[in-house]
Structure 1
Amino acid sequence: MSQRWKNRPEGSNWGDFGPDDQIGRMNLITPERRLNALKEVRDGKVFCLCLPLDYPGGNVLNSARFPPQFHTVMRDGKVYFDLAQRESDPRLTDVGCDEAVTLYSQYSTQWDAFAHKGSLFDADGDGIAEKVYYNGYHVVDPHTSKPTHGEVGAAALSIDKMAETCVQGRGVMIDLRRHLGDERQAVGYDALMRMMEADGATVETGDMVCFHTGLGQVILDMQRAPNESIRTMCPVLDGRDDKLLQWVTDSGLVAIISDNLAVERSSTLGTDPRLGERGAALPLHEHCLFKLGIHLGELWYLTELAAWLHANRRAHFLLTAPPLRLPGAVGSPATPVATV
């Protein structure tokens, strides 16, 4: 039993990978499963699964997140951009550029770290629910009430732990858009199984599962000027479908990825009327990040890959998608690559 908790959430796997585990189901991508994933490479063709990091543009999708902002870097009192170095030595022919960037880690194509979403849960058994995250970790020191990494970072469960695994394994494409179009609808277990069977998409232990909804293409087509309609377009997973959550548990998948804002119905649309008396606004996030140690990828670009896979009667590929190795961060941009 971990020293951090006496109770673990119902249906969770806390402690199953060890009392100090911080990578969750990424443990299931073994060398053998990685070798099997390499067998999915038959054509040597690659797909970039990342939106340009200044997309979607504005902050319609999330009012708290903003596009990247560039800042100058100074060198010898001058802006280091298109700067000739001959002033320091007239013999030099070098011309250089440098920059600094303010980057919201979850503005565009991203991974969620386990420190991104926790829950109010009585992990220590004192009868009082406290703020706690996967495997009983905290992001704020209970003694000092300060973040455990710098002014606003997490020492445990941060995204660099995921990066250290290199995040390479078999990807599975489930093409919701091809079956459902661009209409907003919640996809539960029964509909999902029908689509997977029709497409020959199977999910095995250690797989990273991609859900193509089409929103990534809609975002690109709006050319950094999205409007409010983007928040109510394209299919989403139904995080309140218990059968779907049980499938996530039983399947052995290690990551869920989508080209939409939150994989499931976003809390930016307001509280789901099915919430009941108490519970998570984002139940799939709670199930994955908090209970099972399953990373979530959001706002990826999947349309070109989905079309190619369908045309070639395939659903599986090699996925390489490490986040930034940034200690303390609760999320990270990513430039995922699919190889087929």
Structure 2
Amino acid sequence: MSERNDLPSNWGRWGADDELGTLNLITDEVRERAAREVRTGRSVSLAVPIQPAPVLSGPFPPRTAEESPVQQMMLYTGSPAIAYADALTVTNHHTLSTHLDALAHIPQDGQVYPGRPANESVTMGGVVHGSTTAFAAGIVTRGILLDFAADGPVPGDRALTAQDLEAAEERFTVHVEPGDALVARFGWVRTRYRGNPMPGMTLDAARWMHERGVSLYAGDLSDAYPPVSSPPAMHGVALPRLGMPLIDAVDADELASVCAELGRYSFLFVAAPPRILGLTGVPVNPVAVF
């Protein structure tokens, strides 16, 4: 059996027309269990703050990882004015933008989850299968933080395995169950994507997430750089093969501090992106509620 055929997959598991992927694992019972995590009402954002760049002529895509993913054009600035308004140009898949990847974002062998032809799913008029339309109801489930950076940032030459994930569970007295959202902290929120080697997840870790029934992955990093596998574990397997939505560019530093203070690493996880249909991804502000 080839390595590619041995990769985990959910193609066909929920039908040929499925667009929810592992979000199917978030049942009413899972949401009810998640709601019981709220005891104090304290909340923490996992999003990186964005300072928009002013547009004085015309919009243009960011050219470096340091440029703002949001450009702002003021529409009404005269005086007197009844109201002020602006228009935004947003680059969704950007290293400084906390965003939710739709399942059509990454094709594999000319197909997107769950085996639909990519050229029929993603068109010049937008995404017709596997798009942000699937996120219209928002995502509400239990979240689990695995803080791999509790003793300092994960070294750039490390790639995490299933054993690392289970060791973190034991250390923080949590257990990932079907339907949970997994939040991973590598400690790289301010230093990632600067041309240096970065840690990430291995295929072994992706298989573990599949076996545990993780519904969504959110992290300050996901795939190692340089890649430690082909295809990469999260964007090459978890997203297109498992149908697992990914939240990229998360800032989990404050979350880690609150979890350590409260002595608990599970919480209500809420992600309610703008209800914009037919996109490959969308900015999102994930929130953990204790």
TM-score (norm 2): 0.85
SS in 2 for 1:177: coil
Preserved CA contact (<8 Å) 2:146 2:169: yes
Instruction: Output the CA distance in 2 between the equivalents of 1:313 and 1:48.
Output: 18
Preserved CA contact (<8 Å) 1:289 1:296: yes
Q: CA deviation at 1:132?
A: 0.4
2:43 paired with 1:46: yes
Q: For 1:228, give the aligned amino acid.
A: R
> 1:83 and 1:135, CA in 2 relative to 1: closer, same or farther beyond 3 A?
farther
> 1:227 and 1:110, CA in 2 relative to 1: closer, same or farther beyond 3 A?
closer
Instruction: Output the CA distance in 2 between the equivalents of 1:160 and 1:325.
Output: 7
Residue 119 (structure 2) aligns with: 140
Match of 1:327 among 270, 277, 281: 277
Between Structure 1 and Structure 2, how many residues are aligned?
274
Residue 71 (structure 2) aligns with: 69
Instruction: Output the CA distance in 1 between the equivalents of 2:289 and 2:252.
Output: 13
Q: For 1:99, give the aligned amino acid.
A: D
2:182 paired with 1:193: no
Residue 209 (structure 1) aligns with: 182
Give per-residue Cα distances to partners, 1:170-217, cap 9 Å, x unaligned: 00000010045353222112222112211112100000000011222x
Preserved CA contact (<8 Å) 1:118 1:289: no
Instruction: Output the CA distance in 1 between the equivalents of 2:78 and 2:288.
Output: 35
Instruction: Output the CA distance in 2 between the equivalents of 1:317 and 1:59.
Output: 37
Q: CA deviation at 1:48?
A: 1.4
Residue 223 (structure 1) aligns with: none
Taking the TM superposition and a 5 Å limit, the aligned residue runs for 1:231-270 are 231-232=196-197, 235-237=199-201, 239-240=202-203, 242=204, 244-260=205-221, 263-266=222-225, 269=226
Aligned identity (percent) is: 27
Q: For 2:142, give the aligned amino acid.
A: R
> 1:83 and 1:49, CA in 2 relative to 1: closer, same or farther beyond 3 A?
farther
Instruction: Output the CA distance in 1 between the equivalents of 2:145 and 2:193.
Output: 28
Preserved CA contact (<8 Å) 2:20 2:243: yes
> 1:109 and 1:82, CA in 2 relative to 1: closer, same or farther beyond 3 A?
farther
SS in 2 for 1:84: coil
**Structure (1 or 2) with the larger CA radius of gyration:** 1
Q: CA deviation at 1:325?
A: 2.0
Residue 109 (structure 1) aligns with: 98
2:129 paired with 1:156: yes
Aligned CA-pair RMSD? 2.5
Preserved CA contact (<8 Å) 1:155 1:327: no
SS in 2 for 1:96: coil
Report the structure, 1 or 2, having the larger helix content. Answer: 1
Task: Give the gaps of 5 or more residues in structure 2.
Answer: 53-61
Instruction: Output the CA distance in 1 between the equivalents of 2:245 and 2:19.
Output: 11
2:20 paired with 1:23: yes
Instruction: Output the CA distance in 2 between the equivalents of 1:245 and 1:213.
Output: 16
Q: CA deviation at 1:335?
A: 1.0
Preserved CA contact (<8 Å) 1:160 1:323: no
Q: CA deviation at 1:294?
A: 0.6
TM-score (norm 1): 0.74
Instruction: Output the CA distance in 2 between the equivalents of 1:250 and 1:313.
Output: 27
Instruction: Output the CA distance in 1 between the equivalents of 2:9 and 2:154.
Output: 34
Instruction: Output the CA distance in 1 between the equivalents of 2:194 and 2:147.
Output: 24
Q: CA deviation at 1:319?
A: 0.8
Q: CA deviation at 1:49?
A: 1.2
SS in 2 for 1:32: helix
Instruction: Output the CA distance in 2 between the equivalents of 1:67 and 1:109.
Output: 10
Residue 58 (structure 2) aligns with: none
Task: Give the gaps of 5 or more residues in structure 1.
Answer: 1-7, 74-79, 86-94, 121-130, 220-225
